[in-house]
Chain A
């Protein structure tokens, strides 16, 4: 028969359970604004009853679990969207700086180019003397100076972006190591039968951070360990059973040169720029560019460390989403703008020099043609012309001082369409065919574009790339916010709800206390009978 004393047990279990529930509610309230905190819920279950006569008699309440309220499916979704968001924000970060370099301002390259044609037009108007020539020289110097500056700014932005990729790669590697450590701790607590709720929250925060950098897939095993896979390439970044270092780590290509026999590659090992590793492989082994993220197996590094001979194989990480991918994409775009700018420099210098020298047969070029592969970085004014502006020929060779026909043609380069593709010998071929050195005419290439058009194309490309990134950021931000709201709706702490819980459980605690005092009265009654 159930005695009074066993009912004491029931009451005490009730006290304990409700005190635990009150504690959980207080903890939820305390952590309402903590980053990564998942609200916890006490799961109460009635204790195993025992049979008495034909009845089952209850024995109170048990706390079976303090549960983290979390939707793992939603987590995976959010991590993926973080990656998308990351690719846009990181691209935008770089593009907005590129936009400052390739601007359409009144002081920009477009203006310098127009000023240069205007100077030639002035020279054509009064070709006698040095006055007009000095103006042409100054305008040309401004133009080359601006190109040089833009080239160096682009180069700086490129190397800054490479450093950014390296530091983010390092962060990703560190995050994976930290997650691995948490995996182990969570596993140990599970073994002891403890609930590692706060550790799981911490791991969640790290996964949030990692997912912004790399698009990850996360898989949980029965030990609550996570396996992390790069969703874009399928490479396993952290296995369930990784004991020491992860099998694979990300490194960054710093610099790569190929001299025809050897390829020299600077590798920022694990993203660490402070001690780059220089490796040499046969020419043409890899098709990398600066800022590429590569996977290198940890084991291979260990072998390389032993004797510095076995060069670890590098596998390019074809990342599509995440901040690393966004920065890599932006870097490729910068490369594109730089080469378009080089095309412009090449087209201007080659065409103007060609007209000034009748295709290199006479006269003096205004752009230094020591290296005729003109780029935005190396274009400069011929020092001979800087010393003596009369070397600029405004009319026919051996002609008279009032002849400005050659200068007039150059001033019209603004409207003349050159071949759109100036690579190889395209431009020279065109000039050979279309330039008339006696009439001073240059016919437009019907399918070409003007030199002003070259730069307008660059600005339009930079503009639309930046616009695309910014639009991506705002759309993706809205999506992320919506998902975060859903997550908050599931896992977030509601103060009202917890207050209700607090009242409910403290009332229940009081009720259980009342049970005990009632039992005491009952016991008193029994004792007084004696």
Chain B
């Protein structure tokens, strides 16, 4: 084959260009700190990256939902624990009042305390978390309970049923609330309002014999509230483990994402230096191959 000088220069130039193009690519990856800078770099992986990005964003949202729910459940638990103490106190008072040694005057004093407790429990029922009444079902903007001014019974004000749902992982909805009915009527037969009202009425009437008949009912109410509290505890546990799983998922996905798109800095840097060396060599060789012709040797 005939070889001309133009072939040499053309070849040289195209090789130089190729080296430069490879350098540009690696420099882009180094400065962008990513293997895949545009869809055509890897059309398959780019869709994985996109899915992973969306899943990560979604996961962040789940985490915020879970944390929000934990706060809600915490508030619920506090309210229930306080209610349980209140019921226990009423139980104690009923036991005391049932003994025949108490005078009417003393019973009347106890009745004042029970009235106080009735108001307290109503307060617990009207607990709000971040401006939302937690026992109100769907009607979260109105206080669910009030004390009837005459009968002193705790009655529904705005409270309703309705599940407050939250999504804690893809497709998993969890109801995080105890609705108004469950709070006021945990036994399903008599509301705590009625029980308290009856106890109060007997105390006011000074009838310790009648008072004693409510001991069992209060015991049932107490058990029902304890059950309710343990339900909330179970939900809290579930949320805690969902939170752990969420964090583990995020970590996993971040790792996978990083393995797909991040560059191995050490490897890339070495690769880049090698390219630089090749490019420099190409440049210096250019001077040697392009100069000589026969003309150089003619006197």
Q: In whole angstroms, how far apart are the Cα atoms of A118 and B1 in the complex? A: 68
* Chain B 49-77 per-residue mask, 1 if CB under 8 angstroms from chain A, else 0: 11101100110010011001000000000
Report chain B residues within 8 Å CB of A104.
Answer: 39, 46, 49-50, 53
* Chain A 384-422 per-residue mask, 1 if CB under 8 angstroms from chain B, else 0: 000000000001000111111100100110110000000
Partner of B43, one of A121, A464, A488, A496: A464
Report chain B residues within 8 Å CB of A475.
Answer: none
Q: In whole angstroms, how far apart are the Cα atoms of A496 and B138 in the complex? A: 95
Is B14 part of the contact surface with A, judged by Cβ < 8 Å? yes
CB contact under 8 A between A402 and B132, given known A494-B4, A495-B293: yes
Partner of B138, one of A95, A102, A122, A400: A400
Is A152 part of the contact surface with B, judged by Cβ < 8 Å? no
* Chain B 72-96 per-residue mask, 1 if CB under 8 angstroms from chain A, else 0: 0000000000000000000000000
Q: Chain A nearest CB: distance from B166 CB in Å?
A: 7
Q: In whole angstroms, how far apart are the Cα atoms of A357 and B132 in the complex? A: 26
Q: In whole angstroms, how far apart are the Cα atoms of A489 and B43 in the complex? A: 40
CB contact under 8 A between A459 and B47, given known A110-B53, A403-B162, A495-B294: yes
CB contact under 8 A between A114 and B7, given known A452-B50, A467-B43: no
Please provide the chain B residues from 243 to 299 with a CB less than 8 Å away from any CB of chain A in the complex.
293-295, 298
Partner of B2, one of A32, A465, A490: A490
Is A456 part of the contact surface with B, judged by Cβ < 8 Å? yes
Report chain B residues within 8 Å CB of A408.
Answer: 165-167, 173
Is A33 part of the contact surface with B, judged by Cβ < 8 Å? yes
Report chain B residues within 8 Å CB of A481.
Answer: 10, 14
Q: In whole angstroms, how far apart are the Cα atoms of A117 and B137 in the complex? A: 25
* Chain A 479-509 per-residue mask, 1 if CB under 8 angstroms from chain B, else 0: 0010011001110111111011001000000
Please provide the chain A residues from 120 to 150 with a CB less than 8 Å away from any CB of chain B in the complex.
121-122, 124-126, 128
Please provide the chain B residues from 157 to 216 with a CB less than 8 Å away from any CB of chain A in the complex.
160, 162, 164-167, 170-171, 173
Is A382 part of the contact surface with B, judged by Cβ < 8 Å? no
Q: Chain B nearest CB: distance from A37 CB in Å?
A: 10
Partner of B39, one of A114, A121, A404, A466: A466
Q: Chain B nearest CB: distance from A449 CB in Å?
A: 11
Say whether A124 contacts B137, CB under 8 Å: no
Say whether B38 contacts A401, CB under 8 Å: no
Is A4 part of the contact surface with B, judged by Cβ < 8 Å? no
Is A462 part of the contact surface with B, judged by Cβ < 8 Å? yes
CB contact under 8 A between A460 and B138, given known A114-B53, A455-B50, A499-B293: no
Is A289 part of the contact surface with B, judged by Cβ < 8 Å? no
Say whether B4 contacts A456, CB under 8 Å: no
CB contact under 8 A between A460 and B167, given known A99-B39, A452-B54: no
- Who on chain A is nearest to B21 by CB? A474
CB contact under 8 A between A124 and B46, given known A32-B5, A414-B54, A467-B40: no
Partner of B139, one of A401, A452, A467, A490: A401
CB contact under 8 A between A493 and B130, given known A99-B39, A104-B50, A460-B44: no
Q: In whole angstroms, how far apart are the Cα atoms of A104 and B64 in the complex? A: 25
Report chain B residues within 8 Å CB of A493.
Answer: 4, 6
Say whether A400 contacts B139, CB under 8 Å: yes
- Who on chain A is nearest to B36 by CB? A104
Is A51 part of the contact surface with B, judged by Cβ < 8 Å? no
Partner of A114, one of B54, B137, B165: B54
Is A103 part of the contact surface with B, judged by Cβ < 8 Å? yes
Report chain A residues within 8 Å CB of B41.
Answer: 463, 467
Is A111 part of the contact surface with B, judged by Cβ < 8 Å? yes
Q: Chain A nearest CB: distance from B250 CB in Å?
A: 15
CB contact under 8 A between A400 and B162, given known A456-B50, A495-B295: yes
Say whether B57 contacts A459, CB under 8 Å: no
Report chain B residues within 8 Å CB of A412.
Answer: 167, 170-171
Say whether B140 contacts A128, CB under 8 Å: yes
Q: In whole angstroms, how far apart are the Cα atoms of A126 and B76 in the complex? A: 17
- Who on chain A is nearest to B164 by CB? A402
Please provide the chain A residues from 396 to 454 with a CB less than 8 Å away from any CB of chain B in the complex.
399-405, 408, 411-412, 414-415, 452
CB contact under 8 A between A124 and B165, given known A114-B54, A400-B137, A494-B3: yes
Interface centre among A110, A400, A452, A484 (most CB of B within 10 A): A400
Partner of B58, one of A99, A118, A467, A500: A118
* Chain A 367-389 per-residue mask, 1 if CB under 8 angstroms from chain B, else 0: 00000000000000000000000
Say whether A414 contacts B38, CB under 8 Å: no
Q: Chain A nearest CB: distance from B48 CB in Å?
A: 9
Say whether B140 contacts A400, CB under 8 Å: yes
- Who on chain B is nearest to A490 by CB? B2
Partner of A125, one of B39, B51, B166: B166
Report chain B residues within 8 Å CB of A402.
Answer: 132, 136-141, 162, 164
Is B11 part of the contact surface with A, judged by Cβ < 8 Å? yes
Say whether A456 contacts B51, CB under 8 Å: yes
Say whether B47 contacts A456, CB under 8 Å: yes
Say whether B51 contacts A452, CB under 8 Å: yes
Say whether A128 contacts B131, CB under 8 Å: yes
Q: Chain A nearest CB: distance from B61 CB in Å?
A: 5
Partner of A400, one of B1, B4, B47, B160: B160
Is B42 part of the contact surface with A, judged by Cβ < 8 Å? yes
Q: In whole angstroms, how far apart are the Cα atoms of A488 and B4 in the complex? A: 7
- Who on chain A is nearest to B133 by CB? A402
Between-chain CB contacts (< 8 Å), 20 pairs: A99-B39, A100-B38, A103-B38, A104-B49, A110-B54, A124-B166, A126-B130, A128-B132, A402-B136, A402-B139, A402-B141, A408-B165, A452-B51, A460-B43, A460-B46, A463-B38, A488-B4, A489-B1, A496-B5, A499-B298
List of 8 A-B pairs having minimum Cβ-Cβ separation, nearest first: A463-B39, A402-B140, A463-B43, A466-B40, A400-B138, A464-B43, A492-B4, A467-B40
Contacts from A to B (Cβ < 8 Å): 32-33, 95-96, 99-100, 102-104, 106, 110-111, 113-115, 117-118, 121-122, 124-126, 128, 395, 399-405, 408, 411-412, 414-415, 452, 455-457, 459-467, 470, 481, 484-485, 488-490, 492-497, 499-500, 503
Not counting A124-B166, A400-B160, a sample of 10 additional A-B residue pairs whose C-beta atoms are within 8 angstroms of each other reads: A114-B53, A402-B132, A402-B164, A403-B138, A403-B162, A463-B41, A467-B41, A489-B2, A497-B2, A499-B298
